[in-house]
């Protein structure tokens, strides 16, 4: 059974089956919503985040959202963690030279778990 697309991407999903929307939605819509989220998420108000969550809920009621999609804030945090992991692990990454050198101090304190071992600039 074919469905008519109501997501504004009719060139992509006019003749797609209903389960194909759940593949296209994260790869197109969620990617656009989370683009550069590490730069703007800190400046977004609670109202802005509620509006983004409401958009995702409306898409869910339309059947576009996969069942296991996390919240919008979790998606943005995952994108930040993936970006940081890519920068620190790839020496040839375009942002790798901006990472400070590794800390020479002892990292054996049991105060809290650190997410990285880099020295912070003074």
In terms of phi and psi (left: phi > 0; alpha: psi -120 to 50; beta: otherwise), the region of 36 is: left
Higher per-residue pLDDT: 12 or 68: 68
- Distance in angstroms (rounded) separating the CA atoms of residues 50 and 118: 35
Higher per-residue pLDDT: 28 or 105: 28
Stated pTM of the model: 0.64
Cβ 27 vs Cβ 19: under 8 Å: no
Q: Could you give the percent of the chain with pLDDT greater than 90?
A: 34
Report, as an integer, the average pLDDT of 27-51: 91
- Per residue, the 3-state secondary structure of 25-56, as one string, reads HHHHHHHHHHCCHHHHHHHCCHHHHHHHHHHH
* Phi, psi dihedrals of residue 118, rounded to the nearest 5°: -90, 150
């Amino acid at each position: 059974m074919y469905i008519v697309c109501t997501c504004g991407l009719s060139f992509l999903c006019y003749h797609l089956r209903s389960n194909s929307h759940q593949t296209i939605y994260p790869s197109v819509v969620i990617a656009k919503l989370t683009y550069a989220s590490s730069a703007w998420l800190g400046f977004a108000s609670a109202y802005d985040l509620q509006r983004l969550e409401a958009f995702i809920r409306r898409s869910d009621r339309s059947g576009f959202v996969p069942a296991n999609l996390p919240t919008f804030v979790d998606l943005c945090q995952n994108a930040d963690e993936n970006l940081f992991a890519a920068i620190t692990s790839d020496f040839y990454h375009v942002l790798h030279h901006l990472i400070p050198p590794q800390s020479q101090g002892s990292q054996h304190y049991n105060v809290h778990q650190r997410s990285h071992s880099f020295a912070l600039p003074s």
